[in-house]
Structures are given as structure tokens and as C-alpha cells.
Structure 1
């Protein structure tokens, strides 16, 4: 039985909601007014999220940098204990992903994200008090819990403020913080490692970055908006225009905050959700491994410990270049999102092949392999943009985001376990696992592309070309329907 609902035949809701429909419909802006509002949104949201994402990445990889500052010896870590400290972060992330998706729907998302960031800064500072494997394991678990809200929350906010076509470039821009962190975090760790202090360098690393994060979380509570209708930097008329311009997304931006069980079940039976889960799981096996072991691997090429921190930075420059290319492609090339995701993963695949095949004597050639890994993580914000663009219904969107991040966590848990301590510093098992992970990620993306094309053509055959009026858009948004309930919905590739 077809799940679609003929929305154009439904009368706009009455009463107070009906009045809001009319109010929003009347808020259509001229192109000049819309550009001015987009600029205001860009200036007030994108830098704020980008800086936060930079801090998140820096805080997450501090453990890997701390290994070059004598953390393993000071805490007497043996065998696979370091790998488990890397993995347990994602157990915490996974533990809190589903409750976080519920809280994001039920409570003001900007305030929730700010509080989460401040708490993760506090947890990061506590790492400096760790004295053994057990205490570090506990600290890493709770760091994962506090960081679980950020990326899914940012993707929801992006979906609220931007049209479907605008979302990939905006997500890539706030993800730019990850690339910048790739460049500067190694430099910061190197600088802290050279500080002459009675406090161990790895402890200083956690204390300094943690204090900065706490301050930034408090800042976020006051500046990150919960929705277009509550954005402090927009006046009443601009808020209505901000809502009006995103109605064509039909993804529940005007939802009133009710968690809908039917939408959750829709998400759990949607093929696109499981294909995204397959991609996220397999792509993040390499992500988890290299986030924790890249500096150790570089050290194993024959470079000193501090120089290994410096040589981690250039891959971030390639990642920045990849993000610029993705922004241009997403803006000017149709059906380019999944294709760009495949391309950046192919770059990484070549890099792993170089690391596996070049002789030990060619340390710079093997370092080029690490360098080529830089762009692959840029596929993550594009996958988030697929959720914001292709998943209708606010609860369904939050559920699919949670599913994606559960898979993200699982992949990142598996990754470090493949880097066996007895195989250091070459880690052949880990590199083979990374190679398989990248290949499977490409496989799932190809299937997702085929599914979207098939579903769009099926709907065209059954309903004819998609065509709707602004009244249909706003009514759908108030009704908060899912993508599978709207016959005119077409998936973005």
C-alpha cells in the first residue's frame, strides 16, 4: 500500500497554527532581502559551529598526540590498553546518541549543545588527573558521552536554516573546523611539548584545551539559536522570511517538538537509512584507526616523536582543499554529493595502498600515503547533508541521525582494535582492515546512488513530475510528514 499522502488535498490547519501558515506564506522576500538574510545567518551561525567543530576534533585526538608526550609510559599502559582507551570514547558516544536525538527534539537545541560542549571541556580537564588505565578508560567514556550531541545537532540546525541546495556547502564550511584542527592541533601539541614545566606535557595538553572548551561551551549557550523563529540576530520580519525560504525542504523545520513514534518506525524500515548506516560503519573503521594511531605510524616511519606531531599537520591542508572543491561541486554541479564522497574515499584508498606496498626505506613515500588520507573525512558532512535534504519529518530525521552516529561509533570502536600492539609500528592487520573499510564504504555509496535514482524515477512514473505551490510546502511542514509520505518528494543525489 502506498504510504504517500496527497497533501495538496489537505486544508491548511485551522486555529493558531492556521494563522501561522498564512503568516509564513505572506513572508516571501525579494532576492535582495533573501541574500541579506542568508548573509546574516552565515555570519552568525557558520563560524560559531566551525570553531566548535575544530575544538571537538582537537579534543578527540589529544589522546593520540599525548602518546608522543609520554602518556603511555606515565600511565603504564600495556598491550591493547591504549587501543581500548581509544575505542571506549565511542562507546560513550554510542551510549548517548539515541537519548541525545530525543533531547534535541524535545528541548532548545542551541542551549543543549552549549551545555554539552561545556561539560565535555570539564571531562577533558579531568584527563590530567588520570593515573592508570582504569581512570583513563572512564574519562574517555564520559568524553564520548558529552561530545555525542554536537555533529547531529549541527546537522539539524543546518537543516532548519538552509535550503536543500545550500546545505552541503554550509555543512562543509562548519566541518572546515575539522580540517583546520588537523593542521593546528599537531602544532599546538608540539608547542606544549616544548614547555619546560613541572607538570607533564600531556597533562598540560588536556588542561589547556579543556579550559578553552569550557569557555566556548558557555559562549554557545548564549549565541547558538534554537531555530529560525528564536534566532536572536533576526528581527520578527526576518524570522518569518527565514522560515518561508526553507519550506520547500519539507523536512519538518516548523515541527512543534513532539517525538513521533511512527516516524521513528519509518526510519527503521527505510532502505536509505540502512545504506547510510552501512557507509558510516565501514568508512569509520579507518577513521577510528588513524585518529588514534596516525602519529604513532608516522613515528614508526623513522621520524622523532615531536616531529611526528608536526608531520601530522599537512594532511589537514589537503582536507581544506577537498572541502573547497566539495563546496564548489555542491553549489554548481547537479547530482554531485554522493560522487564527491566516493572521490575523496578513493584518494584515501590510494594512500593506504602506498603505505602497504612501499618499502620501509621509502619513509617519505609512505608519509605521502598518510597525507592522501586527509580528504576522506570530508565525506562525513556530505552524508549529514543527505539526511537533512532527504529525510522528511523532524523525529525521523533525528532518528536517522542517531542511527548514522551509532554506526559511526561502531566503526570507530572496531578501527583501533585492528591495530595490534605486537604489530607496531607497521600494523599490517590494521592497514588491511582500513583498505577493506574504504572499499565497502564505496560499495554502499554506489548502492545509495542507485536507490535514490530508482525511487525518484518510480515516483515520476506514478505521480508525474514533482510540482508544488508554497501553500503545499508550508502545510506539509506543519503536518510534519516524512519523505515517504509525500508523493512529490524527490531525493537529492
Structure 2
């Protein structure tokens, strides 16, 4: 694995060497420009990358989301009754997953800097696929709890790893669409989970196993099978991508290396550093924007996990049969997936994140407000409509939150750690959401809906805080450049400062 990392680092150095011009007599190098490339077709290159990267990544995340959320489908197929679980014990099994999931996300992203993605990501997939399969043969609360804890460890690295991995291929004004295409697999997983659970539930009694056991076993086997394919189908980084020509590889590296900076024709552009220094790790832990963004993340992820884990149960409690409830989740997830991709395309085209995030958070408020103010016994269809509205706002908002922070972190290592922090600490929201919808609150679940509303409001406040902070900092840096502060800075110093450099501009 170390040899693989050295190979990657060596390739990166060689590619960067083709782009950087050596200093002469202590003078700054001339600006790096596109003229050194013979008119690369940028759209064609992006299409190549999309076709080779996104389908496999989306499949990986579909399986990840399917495996972590299928316990909700298994519940209404008899899991809780067969294992003699109390309501509190069932919720503990949901909650425990998120503690280990959050704890291992930063270490996993640091490993991704050392080990090739085509090795690390399939390896952790095999691990959680095996755990998922074993979950199908547990016999009591202790067994289910232990497998959920280990599942959290194994799955921890996939989402933050892929979210960071994509930033090594796409510029920040392109990333949300790709994040949404990848994340929309979660919506498809929700729809597919309902359909699959409906079909697998018919296997109840086959081989002496219950239907919920077959859900875990078959989906776990499918994960291991896809992970085996991923070892051969995943690409690592642009500098080693065999589907790109040498010039295309150099061009992709160039456009990533100099993104996010103000343009000054008379000076060399400021590169983003790929160097490993522990100071960049510390910078990520001390960066105010990451911690504020976590509250934005909670404002979306708490409703996300509330919907993902309890949607079949919420619909079931409205008076529908379990098989009907499974199928009624499908149109919600399909609509949400389509909206996520369309909205991401618009956000990338406009180069804006906060208007879309804030708009969909307000839409989530409306959806949960409908749920909490409607009597589920008298108007179950209205409650279903409220859940539909909320879910269709959650899934488009989530990729925007991920892309927003990724856009505003410069330097490969800091971005890796910062995104893992955001997703790791942010996913503790899943631990909280696992306990929002208590069985004793059925069928109205007013406490759960009310808590979701509270987190959404906190997310809106945090979004506004970031919006004001980014706008003020951009204006402050522009004034410093106007006053000549840039004349005292070398490109090397600015590169080392990353997103704290006065040439860097925050996206909002």
C-alpha cells in the first residue's frame, strides 16, 4: 500500500513538474496559462470523466445507503418481534451505528491519502458486506447491536472518501452536480429498498429464515460482489487515469491546481498545495467555517436520517399495510433523486450554493409543519403529502451542503480532513435522529417532527452566518489587494496559506 501511495505521489510530482516553471535568479515564475495546452476540449474531457467515474461511485453509495437503512424495512417485516426487542433496544441499534461511523471518518480520509482509492474503497465495502450478511443470522439484541456497531466502522470511509475523491477530479463550480449524481443514489436506494424489501419479504420461511433475515443476507452478498468488481473498475487520480491522454491528464491537473483564486495577469497564479503537513490537519480542526457548516449539515442530515430510517414505519402507522407502505416510499425517493440532479445543475451554472440550500430548508419547514399540524387518523394522505414535500427538499439540499464546504477549503489535505470532519461530526445527527420517532408517539410522531423543525431552524441560522461571514471576508481581502498587500506576498506563501490567502475567494 505504501508503494501504491509513493507511485501516486511520484506521478503527481511529475505531472506538476510539467506545469510549473522553475524560478530563474530568484525571480517569481511567469504566470501559468492555458496556452501551453493545444486547445483541449474541456466538455469532452468532463464527459469522459463522468462516464468512467460517476456510475460506479453511485452504485457504491446506493449499496451503502441501502445497507445502513434497510433495518427500517426489516422492522416492518418482523425483525423487532422475532428478536424480542423493546422499542428502546431497537433505537439503540440505530443509534450505535452513528457513533462508530462518526469516529472513523477522519482516520479513513487520512488513509485515503496514503492508499489508492481503488484499493481502500472496495476493501471497506467487502468489510461491511460481510457484516451485513452476518446481520441476517443474529438471534438477539446483543448480536444486532454488535453488528450495527461494526457496520458503522466499516461504512465510515465511503461517503467522506468519495466526496473528497471527486474534488480531485472536478473544479468547484462543477462539483455539486457530480455530488448530486453520486448522492442521488441514496434516493434511488430508498426507492429500491422498498421494492426489494417487498420482494424479499415474500421469501419468509425459505430455508427456515424470516423475510427480514433474507433482506440482510442477500443485500450483504450483493455488496461483496460489487466490491469485487470495484477493485478493477475504479480509477485513482487524474495523473494516472488511463482513459485520458497525457495532455488531458496535465490539463485536468492544471485546472484543479489553480482554482478559487483571483486572476492577476501580471502575476503567477497561486496553486493549491498537495503537500502533506500536519499543520494543514490542525488548520482544518481550527477553521471556524467547518464548525458552523456542521450546524448547516445537521439541519439537513437529521431530517435525512429521520426519513431514511423511519419512512416505512411512518407510512405504515398511517393505516397502510406493510407491503403497501414499502411501495409508497418509491415515488418519494424517485422524485427526490430527479430534483437533486436538476437543482445541482442549476447551482453549478450559477456558481451559488446558499440560495438553494436556504430555499430547500424553508421547503423542509413547510413539509414537517404539515406533518405536525395534521391529524394522521383523519387526514393520512395530507401527512403523506407533508413527508413527500420534506423528502423532496432534503435530497437536493444535501449535496449543496457538501459542495459548499468543499468549494471553500483550499489545499488537498485540509479539504480531505475538513470534509471528513463535516461529515463525521455531522453524522452524529443521525444518532440523534435515530431516537426522534418513538413507537409510543405513533401515529402522529409530533415529537419527531418537532425536533426536525428545530434542527432545520438551526441550520438556517448557521447558513445565514456563513453567508454573512464569507461576504465580509471576500470584501476584506479585495480591499487588502487594492491597498497593495499582494506586493509583499510570494506565490509560495499564498500557496501555503490555502483558503486563508488574500487571493482566495469564498463561494456563497
Is the 1:49–1:154 contact (alpha carbons within 8 Å) kept by the matching residues of 2?
yes
Map of 2:322 onto structure 1: 305
In the superposition, the TM-score normalised over structure 2's length comes to 0.86
Tell me the CA shift for residue 85 of structure 1: 0.8
Tell me the CA shift for residue 368 of structure 1: 0.6
Q: Is 2:240 the counterpart of 1:230?
A: yes
Provide Cα deviations, 1:276-333, integer angstroms capped at 9, x if missing partner: 1121234322233232221111111110111111111111122123213313322332
Is the 1:25–1:244 contact (alpha carbons within 8 Å) kept by the matching residues of 2?
no
Map of 1:38-437 to 2, 5 A cutoff? 38-195=46-203, 197=206, 198-249=208-259, 258=276, 260-335=277-352, 337-359=353-375, 360-375=377-392, 376-437=394-455
Distance 1:237 1:130, change over 3 A: same
CA–CA separation in structure 2 for the residues paired with 1:374 and 1:71: 25
Q: Which blocks of at least 5 consecutive residues in structure 2 are unaligned?
A: 1-12, 23-31, 262-269
CA–CA separation in structure 2 for the residues paired with 1:476 and 1:221: 39
CA–CA separation in structure 2 for the residues paired with 1:211 and 1:402: 28
CA–CA separation in structure 2 for the residues paired with 1:148 and 1:424: 31
Map of 1:10 onto structure 2: none
Provide Cα deviations, 1:227-274, integer angstroms capped at 9, x if missing partner: 11122322333221221222222699975562x221122222222111
Of the three residues 485, 488, 491, the one matched with 2:503 is 488
CA–CA separation in structure 2 for the residues paired with 1:229 and 1:460: 34
CA–CA separation in structure 1 for the residues paired with 2:271 and 2:454: 38
Tell me the CA shift for residue 106 of structure 1: 2.2
Map of 1:426-465 to 2, 5 A cutoff? 426-464=444-482
In the superposition, the TM-score normalised over structure 1's length comes to 0.89
CA–CA separation in structure 1 for the residues paired with 2:477 and 2:272: 25
CA–CA separation in structure 2 for the residues paired with 1:425 and 1:279: 29
Is the 1:175–1:381 contact (alpha carbons within 8 Å) kept by the matching residues of 2?
yes
CA–CA separation in structure 2 for the residues paired with 1:406 and 1:17: 31
Is the 1:27–1:240 contact (alpha carbons within 8 Å) kept by the matching residues of 2?
no
Count of residue correspondences = 472
Is the 1:393–1:483 contact (alpha carbons within 8 Å) kept by the matching residues of 2?
yes
Name the structure, 1 or 2, with higher relative contact order (CA <8 Å, separation 6+). Answer: 1
Is the 1:288–1:415 contact (alpha carbons within 8 Å) kept by the matching residues of 2?
yes
CA–CA separation in structure 2 for the residues paired with 1:492 and 1:460: 14
Distance 1:361 1:31, change over 3 A: farther
Distance 1:464 1:156, change over 3 A: farther
CA–CA separation in structure 2 for the residues paired with 1:465 and 1:367: 58
Tell me the CA shift for residue 33 of structure 1: 2.6
CA–CA separation in structure 1 for the residues paired with 2:39 and 2:370: 50
Is the 2:19–2:254 contact (alpha carbons within 8 Å) kept by the matching residues of 1?
no
Provide Cα deviations, 1:322-346, integer angstroms capped at 9, x if missing partner: 21331332233242x1111122222
CA–CA separation in structure 1 for the residues paired with 2:483 and 2:82: 65
CA–CA separation in structure 1 for the residues paired with 2:34 and 2:367: 53
Is the 2:272–2:410 contact (alpha carbons within 8 Å) kept by the matching residues of 1?
no
Is the 2:406–2:419 contact (alpha carbons within 8 Å) kept by the matching residues of 1?
no
Say which is worse superposed, 184-193 or 326-335, in terms of deviation.
326-335
CA–CA separation in structure 2 for the residues paired with 1:204 and 1:27: 59
CA–CA separation in structure 2 for the residues paired with 1:387 and 1:332: 17
